[in-house]
Amino acid sequence: MVARGDQGRFIAAKFKHFPCLTSSLVAKAMALHEGVEMAINYNWRTVEIESDCKNLAMAVNGLMGIPLKIDVLLANIHLFSRSLEVQFRFVLE
C-alpha cells in the first residue's frame, strides 16, 4: 500500500503479508482496513482510499450488498473511519 499527498507525492508505504488467504476480495478488504489504520496512525484526517476491486468499492460505499465473507471487515472499516473524512474510490490499475 502506498500513501501519497494531495500533489501525488510519496508519503509512506506499507507491506503486510496475510498468510493462508484464499480470497482476493478478503485480501483487498484487509488492505482497505490497513489503509484506514494507516491514516489514523499518521493522524491524517482527510483521505481518499482507492481499490481496484469494484465490488469492494461499491460495498464499502453502500452501493451493493456486503458479501458475507467481508461483512466484519467492512463493519470495522466503517467504525474506524468515523474519525476521518474518508472517500473510498474504485480505480482501474
Residues found in the chain: 93
> What's the CATH fold of domain 2-90?
Nucleotidyltransferase; domain 5 (3.30.420)
Model confidence over 5-25: pLDDT tens digits? 889 899 999 888 888 888 999
Cell of 40: 489514523
The full set of domain ranges for the chain reads: 2-90
List pLDDT tens digits, range 27-47.
Answer: 999 999 999 999 999 999 999
Q: Are 18 and 27 in contact (CB under 8 A)?
A: yes
Other C-beta atoms closer than 10 Å to the C-beta of 83 total 12
Our measurement of the distance from residue 78's CA atom to the centroid of its chain's CA atoms, rounded to an integer in Å, reads: 10
Tens-digit pLDDT profile for residues 41-86? 999 999 999 999 999 999 999 999 999 999 999 999 999 999 999 9
Distance (Å, whole) CA 21 – CA 56: 16
Within 8 A by CB and 6+ apart from 69, the residues are: 23, 25, 26
Are β-strands 85-90 and 2-4 bridged in parallel, bridged antiparallel, or unpaired? Answer: unpaired
